[in-house]
Structure 1
Amino acid sequence: MSEFEDEAIVLGARLHGETGAIVHVLTEQHGVYAAHIAGGASRRLKAMLQPGSPVVFTYRARNTDQLGSARLEASGQGPDLLDDPTGLLGLQCAAAMTREVLPERERHDGAFHALNALLRAFAIPDIWPAIYVRYETGLLEAVGYGLDLSSCAVTGSHDDLVYVSPKSARAVSRASGEPYHDKLLRLPQFLLSSQGGLSAGDIEDGLKLTGFFLERHVFHPHNRPLPEIRQRLSEALADRPA
């Protein structure tokens, strides 16, 4: 018998049978879990099953290998983004990427708290895209492929880091990288410091950077592309005025 109760964030749900649903959540202490929700097709539970909804997730299964069942209780309100199509797209993308990147049933406390921070950031339209990019760097770190932005891969210098090597995922300084700039990934300065500020093109460069390594290390090894919603988010944010 497997049983637990945990704080969780809903990542998505789909109908199952006539009245039920299968929900995916990111829990604080147990990682990503899927479960059957009795009555999940009901109007009462519909809002609670939307991506980003904070819930108390009470899970039960006869054994650890089977899909268990769960009860959900609302523990707060998710972001209100009905009048913000780009923000809603960002929320849906964050939920989809979390589900696709993190292995199921592996504890990832950092990802849970980072997703909570991102959900709060959606209230600030000028800020959340940068927080979203940071969230993807955290997903990479959670699965063992974090970027090393601490110093230049060539000289060890900590100054003027403006590129990332696609081979090593390490930062490269302007002077060292300039001869090879067309082969390197651009490093937006907001990834180096929360005080770095945002310049035109930074979000686009940040999404290209994290997308490159997510494709290489997470999706391509399993013959899968980046989720289509991720491409739509990149296009939507690239079209936004700086």
Structure 2
Amino acid sequence: MEWEDEAFVLSARVHGETGAIVELLTQDRGKFAAHVSGAASRRMKPFLQAGAKVIARYRARMSDQLGAATLEPIGEGPSSLFDEPLALSGLSAAAAVAAGALPEREAHPGAFHALEALITALAIPEIWPAVYVRFEAGLLQDLGFGLDLSKCAATGSLDDLVYISPRTGRAVSRAAGAPYHDKLLPLPPFMLSAQGGLAEGDVGAGLDITGHFLEQFVFHPLNKPLPPARVWLLDRLGEAGRL
């Protein structure tokens, strides 16, 4: 089995004296793990960081075996964010969520492109937390658990959608949700439209929504909690006043 593809590094763990098992999110083949030789070298360490974009060349004797890969960096990778610890926290959380949520060897190009869009946005402090929320919403969509924000679940109304049902992931209008508002999740406007502005509390509300459905539909069935990096991101955004 051989292939070549663009990929983002999701994680790397030491294997042997100089190698590593690297988890990749590829553009066309989904999540793949591979053994990478020489991973401990100074030359390779920078592009084995979570979020590094690479050309991966993979080879395995049999399709169901762990194969070996060589990696060639594309661009400067996450090193450009080393002076932005909050953005690095966002990148670490995204990589951990993708690594934990995506199945092995199943194509998810939507997840690849959502991660790519987030990594591009990380250079813009004003917008990336909202893009992070959209990344998680896109991941849910790609896994078959997309949120339905098109109309009110109760009335079919297209207007004044301000809640989302924590049970179904469907939007609810202000009027229909008023009697049950304490049982619904607030729906920030930016999740309805790319042009929606950000108000205080919107990012936190968005992260509450995507975190709830990732737990309910993805991680709980796998007997996993949300990744610690995702929990820490919420804490750090709160400390920075960015929720």
Deviation for aligned residue 1:241: 2.8
Q: Which residue is 2:217 aligned to? A: 217
* Cα deviation code 1:52-98 (max 9, x no counterpart): 11100000111111110000011212241111111111001111111
Using the alignment, how far apart are the partners of 1:153 and 1:179 within structure 2?
15
Using the alignment, how far apart are the partners of 2:237 and 2:172 within structure 1?
26
Sequence identity percentage: 61
Using the alignment, how far apart are the partners of 2:228 and 2:50 within structure 1?
17
* Cα deviation code 1:142-175 (max 9, x no counterpart): 1111100000000000000000011211000011
Using the alignment, how far apart are the partners of 1:231 and 1:109 within structure 2?
26
5 Å-filtered alignment, 1:153-172, equals 153-172=153-172
Q: Which residue is 1:233 aligned to? A: 233
5 Å-filtered alignment, 1:98-177, equals 98-177=98-177
Q: Secondary structure at the match of 1:215?
A: helix
Q: Which residue is 2:64 aligned to? A: 65
Using the alignment, how far apart are the partners of 2:152 and 2:54 within structure 1?
43
Using the alignment, how far apart are the partners of 2:131 and 2:214 within structure 1?
17
Structure 2: 5+ residue stretches without partners: none
- Say whether the 8 Å CA contact 1:59–1:68 is kept in structure 2: yes
Q: Secondary structure at the match of 1:44?
A: coil
Using the alignment, how far apart are the partners of 1:29 and 1:21 within structure 2?
23
TM-score (norm 2): 0.97
Using the alignment, how far apart are the partners of 1:188 and 1:240 within structure 2?
20
Q: Which residue is 2:9 aligned to? A: 10
Using the alignment, how far apart are the partners of 2:69 and 2:128 within structure 1?
31
- Say whether the 8 Å CA contact 2:2–2:60 is kept in structure 1: yes
**Letter in structure 2 aligned against 1:147:** L
Runs (4 or more) in structure 1 with deviation over 2 Å come to 238-242
Structure 1: 5+ residue stretches without partners: none
* Cα deviation code 1:31-60 (max 9, x no counterpart): 111100011111111001011111000001
Q: Which residue is 1:198 aligned to? A: 198
Q: CA RMSD in A?
A: 0.9
Q: Which residue is 2:82 aligned to? A: 82
TM-score (norm 1): 0.97
Q: Which residue is 2:30 aligned to? A: 31
**Letter in structure 1 aligned against 2:38:** G
